[in-house]
Amino acid sequence: MSEHPIVHIELSADDPKAAGKFYGEVFGWDIEYMPEMDYVTFGAKPGPAGGFNVVDNQMTKAGDVLIYIQTGDIETTLNKIESLGGQTLLPKTEIPTIGWFAVFTDPTGNRVGLFTGLES
């Protein structure tokens, strides 16, 4: 098993609460609204968890899907990404009580996230 699994998936939605309701009813996923972050999460066990991003037409556009890859050291991983032609879009950012994340583009333009949990 890779030490860098996909751990989180984000789908874009104009109305994250409505999207959560839809996916919860269709697939039976556990849906949770996190008001402190204005964010809706889903649990799709045994697969990775995820959430619904608000479409803002800058960082998040309709139809975007963003995967997050686990890493033990976001800064080191971003440095390696940049040395290989990728670009940091969002540097290491705290998610209170959960961990940290960052977003980069690979050399072909794909947007991908990195995640480190508090337990890492």
Q: Tell me the whole-structure pTM to 2 decimals.
A: 0.87
Residue 95 in contact with residue 76, Cβ under 8 Å?
no
pLDDT for 20 equals: 95
Q: Are 2 and 58 contained in the same domain?
A: yes
Q: Are 11 and 53 contained in the same domain?
A: yes
Q: Are 1 and 52 contained in the same domain?
A: yes
Q: Are 96 and 77 contained in the same domain?
A: yes
Q: Are 52 and 75 contained in the same domain?
A: no
Q: pLDDT tens-digit profile of 16-32? A: 999 999 999 999 999 99
Q: pLDDT tens-digit profile of 45-55? A: 888 899 998 88
Q: Are 9 and 55 contained in the same domain?
A: yes
Q: pLDDT tens-digit profile of 68-106? A: 999 999 999 999 999 999 999 999 999 999 999 999 999
Q: Are 26 and 75 contained in the same domain?
A: no
Phi, psi angles (nearest 5°) of residue 16: -60, -35
Which residue range(s) make up the domain with 114? 71-120
Q: What is the DSSP letter of 108?
A: T
